Structure 1
Amino acid sequence: MSSIVHLNLSYNKINQLSIDTFYGLPDLMYLDLSNNQISVLLDSVLSSLPILRYLDLSSNQITVLPDSVFSSLTVLNIFLNENFLSVLLMLPASVEWLDISYNNFATLPAGTFTNSSNLSILSIIGNKMEVKQHMFEGLDNLTVLLTDTPFMCCVKPKSVADDKCLNNRITFDFCLFENSVCKSEGDVISSCKNLIGSDLLRVFLWIIGFCSLIGNFTVMFYRLLIDRDNITTSYSIFVLNLSMSDLLMGIYLMIIGSFDIHYRDVYAWNDQDWRSSIVCTIAGILSNISSEMSTFLILMVTIDRVIVIVFPMSRLYQRNISGNQAWIIALFLWLVAITVAVIPVVSMQFYFKGKYQSGVCLALPLTRDEQPGSGYSFAVFVCLNSFIFVIIAIGQLCMFNSLVTSGGSRVASSQTGRDLTVARTLFLVVATDFCCWFPIGVIGVMSKSGHEIPNDVYAWVMVFVLPVNAAINPFLYTASAIWRKRQRVR
C-alpha cells in the first residue's frame, strides 16, 4: 500500500508499534494514532516516514519519548496532548503546531525550544506548569499560545499578541479564526509584576493593616493594664479576645504587603512558589482564624447583651455569663476557629491541592469556576457565617424591641445606662461586620449559581471589604468607651 497518503488508526486498541509497522509507506503525510493504548514508542518507529506532515498521538498512555523518535521527520503538526509526558525532547525544526496539553509537565526549561523557530501555535493547557522568565526562548515566530496557567501570558514571546494568548474557556477554533479578543486570565488581584496589581489596593492594604495592628494593640493594652478592673466581666473578656482575633488580620495584611514588596516587578515567575509556600499557608490560616473568631465572638457578645437587656429581671439574668465561663467559651471558640482554618492544610490537602487559588492566600468561594476546596470554603464562609449572622440579627432585633417597648424606664440606674450604651456600640460593631460579610455571602451565592463576578469586585472584596472591620472595630468598642469614661470624669 505504498501510495497511502492519509492513514487514520484512531479509536482502536493498539498498545504497541513494532519497528517495521510503517515500512513501505514513503508517501504517508497524515498519521492519526489518537485514542489508543500506546505506552511506549520505539526509537526508530517513525524513521521510514520521510515526508510525514501530520502526527497525532493524543489520548494515549505515553510517559517517555525516545530521544531520536522525531529526528528523521519533517513533520509540521505534532499532537501529544492527553498523555503522561513530563519531559519534552528536542523537536524537528520544521514543526509549526505543537500540542502538549493535559500531560504532566511541571516546567519547560530554558532551551527547550532553541530548535523551534518555525513553531507558530503551541498549546500547554492542562499542565501544572511553573512560570519561568525564559521558558519560551527561541520561539521567535510563535503567534498563538494556549495556556490556562495564571501569569503564563506574562512571559509569552513578543510575537504573540495579547488577544492570541488564550485559555481553555473559549474554544480554540473560535478564538483562532474569529475576529474576537480571547485572552488567558491571570490572577484577579495580582499582575505580571506585582502581588498586588492595583496601586490603590496596595495603599488601602497598608492603611487597613497598620490601623488594625495599632488599634488592636491599643485595645489589648487598655483592657489589660488600664481598665483591668473590668476584665472580669464577660463583655470585656469577649472584647479582649475580639481584639486578639482582629490583630491576626493586621498581621496577615502586613505579611501580604511585605511579600508584595519582596516580589516587586518579578511576581509572575514566583507565583507558584509563593502560593504553595509555608508563609502563604500561615498567612491564609491567620486570616481564616481572624475572620471566623471575630464572627463567633460577636455572636457571644450579642448573646451576653441579650441576656442583660432583654431579660434584666428574670432568672436568666441571674445566670448570665460569668468571667470564668467567658474565658472557657473564648478558649473553645479559639479551638473551633483554628480547627476550621487548619483542616484544609493538615487533613484535606488532596481537596485543596496544596496551595491557595489567589495570590493573597485566601480561599474565598467568589468565582464561578470550581476551584479546589471551593465546596468547603462555601460551607464555611457563606453558609456557616450567614447562619451566625441570622442569629446575631435576631438578637439585635430583640434588644431593639426591648428598648422601644420599655421607653425611658430603663435609665433608672447607672448600670442599666451603661448596658444600653454598650448595646448601641455593639449594634455599630455588628453593622460594620455585616457590611463586610453580606457582600461576601451574596457574591458567593451568585458565583455558585453560575454568575460571573467582575475581577475588580473580587479584588476589592478580598483586599478591602473582608479585613476592614478588623481596623474599625477597635475604634467602635474601645475608643468610644475611653471617650465616654473621660466624659463621665469631667
Structure 2
Amino acid sequence: MRFSRIIMISIPLCTSFALLLSTILFLRYGSCPEGNFSCASSDMCVLQRLVCNGKADCPNGEDEDVIICSDLHGGFSSMIASLKNRTSNAFCELSNVPKQCKCKSSVLCCKSRNLTEIPTGVQGNVNGIIVMNTQIELFDTTFLNYHPSLINLGNNGLTKLPSKVFKGQIYLKKLFLIKNKLETLNGSLSVEFVNLNWLFLYDNYLTELKAKNWKMQYLTWLDASKNKLTLKNETFNRLTSLKFLYLERNMIQEINNDIFANLTNLIDLDLSWNIIKFIGPRAFASLYKLTDLNLMNNLILRLTSTHFLMLKNVQKLQLGGNARLEIGNYFFPLESLRSLNLKDIELPNLESSIFEMLTRLEIIYFKKYKYCTYVPQVKRCVPRADGLSSENDLIANDLLRWTLWTIMITTLITNSMVILRRVVSFQTSPLSLIITNLAIADMFMGVYLLIIGAGDLFYRNVYRKYAHIWVNSWTCTVAGVIAMMSSEASILFLLLISAERFLLISSPLGAHKNLTTKSAYSSCISIWLFSLLLAILPVFNWRYATRFYGKNSFCFPLHIDEPYMVGWQYSSLIFLGINSFSIIGIGLMYVGVFVSIWKTRNATTLCVNDSSFALRFIFIVMANCCCWVPIIVLKIMAFLSCDISKDIIGWIGVFILPVNSAVNPVLYTFTIPNN
C-alpha cells in the first residue's frame, strides 16, 4: 500500500518535471512559437530579444541580417545613394609600375610591408594612389609628379605629415588618412583644396583639427572619428558644403553655439561615444537640412525644445546611452522624425503625450519593452518582447499560452474536486478544514490564470495598442491582488499544518492536544484576513496602485526584472521575508518531526500513524519548496545585479508559481487521510 501511494505521488511530480524539461528543449530547438525568430538555415528558433543584438545566434547569422536590422532613416540613405552606379575599368592604364604594387585602370595600389616610400617613376595619368599597410615616410615632394583624384594612405603608421605634402593637389577629391598615428596635421590641410570632397581622418591621435584654416569649399564628407578631439576653440564654419560630419569616439565635453554655424547643408552629424555634458541651446540652429543626429552614449543631462527648434527635417534622432538624460516634452519641433533611439535610458515618468506630436514616427528604441506601451501608434518598437509579452500578444508565444491554459484548467478542476469531496463527505475535522481552505487558496491561483488568459484572448494580435490600458486597468490590479492573496494564503496554510504536525508528533506521549475545530476556524480566518491585507495594502498605500500590480503584463509584482521599481521594499518583505521564513520554518519543523520519529520509533507505538502521515505529507512540502525556493533565489540574484533571462520571468508566471496549485490536490488525495 505504501509503495502504491509513493508511485501515485511520484507521477504528478515527475510529470511536472518532464513538462518543464520538454518546455526548455522545445523553446530552444523545436518549431518556433509565435513571437520568435525562425532561422532559415535550420529548425532553430531565436528569441525576439536576441534578434539584431550584434551577435549571431542562428547558424548562418540570419538573425543579424543587414536587411532585417538596418535602420535606413536619416542621412545614411543619402550616403548609400552617393555610392551607387560606380564602375571601373579592370585593365591597367599605367606603365613602369614597381613589383611591390599593382595597377587597376589608372589607380596605383601598393600594399607591401617592404615599401618605404611612394613610387615616383610611374608613367601615365595616375588617377588614384592607394598605399596601405606599408612603412612609408612622406616628404613635401612625395606627390609632386602626380595629380590624382584619390589618395589613400590608410594604416601606414604615419606619425606626422609634412606641411606641404599636398600642395598643388588641385584635382584631389578623396583623401584617406585613416588608422595611422597622427597627433597633429602640421598645417598640411591648410593648403587650398579646390575639389576635395571626402576627407577621412578616422582612428588617429589627433587632438585638434584647426578646421577654421581649411580651404575646402566643396568638402562634403568629413570623418574625424576615433581621435582625441575636444573641439575647444574649433569651428567648421568655412566648410559650407559639408553634408556628412562624423566625430564619434573622441573626447568632446561641450558643444557651444558656434561650432556648427554656417553648416547649412549638413544632413548627417554623429557625436556619439564622447563625454558631452553640455550642448548650447543654439548649437544646431544653422542645421536646417540635418536629417540624422546621433548623440548616443554621452553624459548629456538635459535637452530642451530650443535645441531642436530648427531641426524640422531630422528623420533620425539617437539619444540612447545617455543614462541620466531626462526625457521630456521637447520633441515636438521634430515634425519629420521617423526613427528615435532612447536605448539604455530609464524613463520613470514616461507619458504618452511626449510622443503624440511625432506623427511620422515609424520606429522607436527603448531600454525596456514596457515603454513600448506608451507608443501604440508607432509601427515598430524595440525591444519587441520581454519574455512575458510580444509585440502583438499579451502572452509572448503559443508554448507559454498553452502551458497557462493547461495549468489553469487543471488547477480549477482538481481543487474543485478536493473541495467538493470534503464538503460532500461532511469532513469536519480541523485538518480537513485547513486542507479545504488550502484548496480554495490554490483555486484562486486558477482564477488569476483565467483572468490573464482571457486578457490574452481579448487583446490577441493588437496587444501593444492597448498594453498601457491593460496594465493600468483595475482588471490587472484585481488579478494581481488575487494572485498575491492566493500565494500567501497557500504558504501560510501549509505553515499552519506543518506547525500542528510538529507539535503533535514531537510532544512526548501525546502531551500536545490536537487542534480543535474552533481553533482551526480562527486560524483559517486569520490567515485569510492577513493574506487579503497583504494583497490589497499596495492598492491603498500607493497613490497609483497599478504601478505596483501593473508593472508587467502578468500583473504579478515579483520585481525580478526590475528589482528597485516602485514598491520593491514591500515586494521584498513578502517574498524574501514572509515566504522565506515560512519555507525555512516548514523545513525546520519537518526536520524536528523526523528526529522525533527516529527517537521514538522503537520506544512506543503511539506515533506510528502520525509518523506514517508525516512521511507522506513531506511530498506536499517538497512541492511547495520547489515552487518558492527558485523564486526566492531569483529575487536575491536580481538584487545582486546578476544577469537573469527575461524568458524565465514568463515561465515563473505561468508554470513555476501556479503549477504547485495544480499539483497539490493530487497530492492531498493520496497522502492525507480522511480523518
Common topology (TM > 0.5): yes
> Following superposition of structure 1 onto structure 2, how do residues 216-227 of structure 1 map, counting pairs within 5 Å?
216-227=415-426
> In the alignment, what sits opposite 1:427?
618
SS at match of 2:404: helix
| Residue identity in the other structure for 2:360 | G
SS at match of 1:313: helix
Q: Which residue of 2 aligns with 1:292?
A: 488
Structure 2 CA distance, aligned partners of 1:107 and 1:251?
Answer: 44
| Farther off after superposition, 427-436 or 326-335 | 326-335
Counterpart contact for 1:70–1:92, Cα < 8 Å: no
SS at 1:268's partner residue? helix
Larger of the two Rg values belongs to structure: 2
Correspondence 1:370-409 to 2 at 5 A: 370-407=564-601
From 253, 257, 264, the equivalent of 2:453 is 257
What does the per-residue CA deviation read over 1:309-357, in whole Å, with 9 as the maximum and x for residues that have no partner?
2215254x13x43211121122122222122222222103479845533
CA distance in 2, matches of 1:354, 1:107: 29
Q: Identify which range, 435-444 or 100-109, moves more after superposition.
A: 100-109
1:108-154 alpha-carbon deviations (Å, 9 max, x no partner): 99xx976346x6x64485442559999976357x7xx4422416399
**1:268 aligned to 2:464?**
yes
| Equivalent residue letter for 2:312 | P
Q: Aligned partners of 1:224 and 1:386: how far apart in 2?
A: 32
- Please point out which of 188, 194, 215 is paired with 2:387: 188
Cα deviation 1:198-254 (Å, max 9, x = unaligned): 3222222112111211222222222223133x3xx3212221221121111110011
Corresponding residue number in structure 2 for 1:178: none
**Counterparts of 1:321-400 in structure 2 under 5 Å?**
321-349=515-543, 353-367=547-561, 370-400=564-594
Q: Give the whole-Å Cα distance in 2 for the aligned partners of 1:149 and 1:210.
A: 32
| Larger relative contact order, structure 1 or 2 (CA cutoff 8 Å, min sep 6) | 1
The answer (yes or no) to whether the contact 1:366–1:444 under 8 Å persists in 2 is: yes
Structure 2 match to 1:147: 366
Matched, 1:235 2:457: no
Kindly indicate whether the alpha-carbon contact (under 8 Å) linking 2:627 and 2:656 is maintained by their aligned counterparts in 1.
yes
Matched, 1:247 2:431: no
Contact kept in structure 2, 1:85 and 1:103, CA below 8 Å: no
| Comparing 217-226 and 424-433, the one that deviates more | 217-226
Match for residue 446 of structure 1? 637
In structure 2, the residue matched to 1:179 is none
Counterpart in the other structure of 1:210: 409
Aligned-residue offset at 1:291: 0.9
- What SS does the corresponding residue of 2:595 show, helix, strand or coil? helix
Tell me the distance in 2 between the aligned counterparts of 1:49 and 1:35: 15
Q: Distance in 2 between matches of 1:135 and 1:194?
A: 26
1:24-43 pair list within 5 angstroms: none
* Aligned AA (2:506): V
Structure 1: state its 5+ residue gaps. Answer: 10-24, 37-47, 167-183
Shift, 1:256, TM fit: 0.7
Write the distance in 1 (CA, Å) between the matches of 2:540 and 2:263. 55
Match for 1:279 among 463, 475, 495? Answer: 475
The answer (yes or no) to whether the contact 1:78–1:97 under 8 Å persists in 2 is yes
CA contact (8 A) 2:384 2:391 kept: no
1:66-145 matches, within 5 Å, as 73-75=288-290, 92-93=312-313, 96-97=316-317, 99=319, 102-103=325-326, 115-116=336-337, 122-123=341-342, 125-127=345-347, 128-130=350-352, 138=360, 145=364
Q: Which residue type is aligned with residue 454 of structure 2?
A: S
CA gap of 1:139–1:434, structure 2 versus 1, over 3 A, is closer
Q: Say if 1:278 and 1:35 are closer, same or farther in 2 by CA, change over 3 A.
A: farther
The answer to whether the Cα contact below 8 Å between 1:425 and 1:477 also exists between their aligned partners in 2 is no
The separation in 1 between residues aligned to 2:287 and 2:648, in whole angstroms, is 54
Q: What is the TM-score when the length of structure 1 is the normalising length?
A: 0.69
Give deviations 1:429-449, integer Å, cap 9, x for gaps: 111001111111122222221
Distance of aligned partners of 1:155 and 1:422 in 2 relative to their CA distance in 1, 3 Å threshold: same
- Secondary structure of the equivalent of 1:97? strand
Q: Which residue of 2 aligns with 1:309?
A: 505
SS of 2:369 mapped into structure 1: coil
Letter of the 1:326 counterpart: A
Aligned equivalents of 1:209, 1:90: Cα separation in 2? 56
Please list every run of 5 or more consecutive structure 2 residues that lacks an aligned counterpart in the other structure. 1-211, 214-230, 246-251
Which TM-score applies when normalising by structure 2? Answer: 0.52
Q: How has the CA–CA distance of structure 1 residues 204 and 408 changed in structure 2, closer, same or farther, with 3 Å as cutoff?
A: farther
Spell out the pairing of 1:409-488 with structure 2 (5 A cutoff).
411=605, 418-478=609-669, 480-481=671-672
- Separation in structure 2 between the aligned mates of residue 401 and residue 365 of structure 1, nearest angstrom: 38
Structure 1 distance, partners of 2:406, 2:492, is 25
Shift of 1:302: 0.8
- How far apart, in 1, do the equivalents of 2:314 and 2:604 lie? 89
Q: Which residue of structure 1 aligns with residue 398 of structure 2?
A: 199
- Alpha carbons of structure 1 residues 90 and 333: separation in structure 2 relative to 1, 3 Å: farther
Q: What CA distance in whole angstroms lies between the structure 2 residues aligned with 1:108 and 1:207?
A: 46
After superposition, the C-alpha distances for 1:49-76 in whole angstroms (9 at most, x for unaligned) are 89496899x999xxxx9xxx98994455
**Is the CA contact (8 Å cut-off) linking 2:502 and 2:593 kept in structure 1?**
yes
Percent of counterpart pairs with the same letter?
A: 25
Match of 1:21 in 2: none
- Distance in structure 2 (CA, Å) of the matches to 1:107 and 1:191: 29
- Partners of 1:106 and 1:287 in 2: CA distance: 37
Q: 1:76 to 1:266 in 2, by over 3 A?
A: closer
Find the residue that maps to 2:556 and give its secondary structure.
Answer: coil
**Equivalenced residues, count:** 419
Pair 1:369–1:329, CA change in 2 (3 A): closer
Instruction: Give the C-alpha shift of residue 463 in structure 1.
Output: 1.6
Instruction: Report if the CA contact (8 A) 1:351-1:372 is conserved.
Output: no
Deviations 1:389-440 (A, max 9, x none): 111111111211222222266556xxx5553443233211111001111111
Amino acid at match of 2:577: C
The alpha-carbon distance between structure 1 residues 122 and 309, as it changes in their structure 2 partners (threshold 3 A), is closer
Q: Shift of the alpha carbon at 1:467?
A: 1.0
